[in-house]
């Protein structure tokens, strides 16, 4: 065998060995879906700008096929009414799908409270959605790995694998998860991953007429969201749980739950 033949055969052997090695590699959905290290999705909510119209909730339900009349939602808006005596009334009727059409505050069990304007110290609206935590407890507790985090930080649920145990619902301190009424598997906001991964904005961001919701890339220093997160006075929800939420709030007050 001359040198040329030896080299040719060696290359064939190496190539032959490389093919099954590549074929044996397990498909990792995290890498498949988002293998871009320059991307980390984050959300910015401006509580000063939100007027509680509920367009975002409506758009989310329609976009993500969460039954319109079901009493669960991927996102919702909370109304806070702080009285002069310091007491706080909070409600989110039907997740604010139709906005806040009445001044009466829902107290549950079919009861309502009406607060006279003179007694109100301040009132405001706070939109809520999945925080796509850096350290998501729902991913940690899922017994089958149906809930997983992509490399760009979004937590997704694989409907084919979820067994419907509800452990993720229990593990989330933000109460954003629920069982899908049709598919009977765990459901949550995923920043409209099918849209953002194609260069679009999430449905709620598009629907908000007041710019109260923004989505951006934390790894891009020129992104307006990143600029506000880095330079502005922003807050996150329930920091004490150590989940490191990636939904940032402008105008967060101590009353917000």
Partner 1 sequence: MVHGEAWTVKELFVYPNEYIYWTIQIVMYPFLTGLVAGAFVLSSLYHVFGVKQLKEIARFSLVFSFALLPCAPMPLLLHLQQPLRNHHVLMTPHFTSAIAAFGIVFITYGMIVASELWFVYRGHFVATVHVLREKRDRTLQETGLMRLYSLLVLGAWDVSHHALEQDEKGVKVLAGVGIPVACFLHGYAGFIFGSVKANALWMTPLMPVIFICSAVVSGIALCILTYIATMEIRKLMAAWRRRENPALPSPTDLGGVEENVVRMTSRYLVMFLILAITLELLDLIFRGYTAVKSWDILRSVIYGKDFTAIFVLQYGLGNLVPFVLFLLPGLTVRRAVVGTILVLFGVFMMRWNVVIGGQAFSASFAGFMHYHLPIWPHDFETFKEGLFGALAVGAVPFVFFVILARIFPVFGQRDSH
Q: Which residues bind partner 1 (CB under 8 A)?
A: 70-73, 76, 78, 88-92, 94-95, 107-109, 128, 137, 139-146, 161-167, 169-179, 181, 184-185, 240-242, 257
In whole angstroms, the minimum distance from the beta carbon of 222 to partner 1 comes to 35
Quote the least distance from Cβ 242 to partner 1, whole Å.
8
Q: What is the DSSP letter of 255?
A: T
φ/ψ of residue 44, rounded to 5: -125, 125
Nearer to partner 1, 167 or 252 (CB): 167
**Backbone torsions φ then ψ of 82, nearest 5 degrees:** -100, 120
Cβ closest to partner 1, residue 8 vs residue 184: 184
Which lies closer to partner 1 via its Cβ, residue 41 or residue 76? 76
Q: How far is the CB of 75 from partner 1 (least distance, A)?
A: 9
Nearest distance from residue 223's CB to partner 1, in Å? 29
* Residue 54 beta carbon to partner 1: minimum distance, rounded to whole angstroms: 12
Measured from the CB atom, is 33 or 167 closer to partner 1?
Answer: 167
Cα–Cα distance list, 139 to 117, 133, 143, 248 (Å): 44, 10, 9, 21
Of 167 and 227, which has the nearer Cβ to partner 1? Answer: 167
For residue 147 the two structure tokens come to: 């809930």
Shortest Å distance, C-beta 225 to partner 1: 25
Q: In the chain, at which residue ranges do the beta strands (DSSP E only) sit?
A: 41-46, 76-83, 88-91, 105-108, 111-113, 120-128, 147-149, 155-157, 178-179, 186-187, 213-217, 234-235, 247-250
Q: Which is nearer to partner 1, 167 or 253 (CB)?
A: 167
CB of 159 to partner 1, least distance (A): 9
CA distances, 169 to each of 75, 123, 140, 175, 178 (Å): 15, 29, 12, 7, 6
Q: Which is nearer to partner 1, 63 or 241 (CB)?
A: 241
Looking at residue 27, the DSSP 8-state letter turns out to be P
Burial 24-46 (b: 16+ CB within 10 A, else e): eeeeeeeeebbeeeebbbbbbbb
Strands 247-250 and 41-46: parallel
């Amino acid at each position: 065998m001359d040198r040329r033949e030896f080299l040719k055969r060696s290359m064939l052997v190496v190539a032959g060995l490389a093919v099954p090695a590549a074929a044996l590699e397990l498909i990792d959905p995290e890498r498949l879906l988002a293998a871009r290290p320059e991307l980390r999705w984050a959300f910015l909510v401006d509580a000063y700008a939100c007027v509680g119209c509920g367009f975002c909730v409506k758009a989310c339900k329609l976009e993500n096929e969460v039954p319109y009349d079901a009493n669960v939602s991927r996102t919702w808006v909370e109304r806070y009414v702080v009285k002069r005596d310091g007491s706080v009334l909070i409600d989110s009727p039907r997740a604010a799908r139709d906005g806040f059409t009445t001044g009466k505050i829902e107290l549950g069990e079919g009861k309502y409270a009406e607060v006279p304007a003179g007694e109100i110290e301040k009132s405001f609206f706070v939109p809520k959605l999945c925080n796509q935590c850096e350290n998501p407890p729902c991913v940690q507790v899922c017994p089958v790995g149906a809930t997983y985090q992509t490399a760009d930080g979004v937590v997704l649920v694989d409907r084919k694998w979820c067994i419907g145990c509800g452990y993720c619902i229990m593990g989330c301190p933000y109460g954003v998860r629920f069982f899908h009424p049709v598919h009977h598997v765990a459901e949550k906001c995923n920043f409209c991953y099918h849209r953002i991964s194609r260069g679009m904005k999430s449905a709620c961001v598009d629907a908000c007429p007041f710019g109260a919701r923004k989505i951006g890339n934390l790894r891009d220093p020129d992104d307006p969201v990143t600029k506000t997160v880095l330079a502005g006075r922003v807050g996150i929800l329930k920091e004490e749980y150590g989940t490191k939420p990636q939904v940032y709030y402008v105008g967060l007050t101590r009353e917000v739950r």
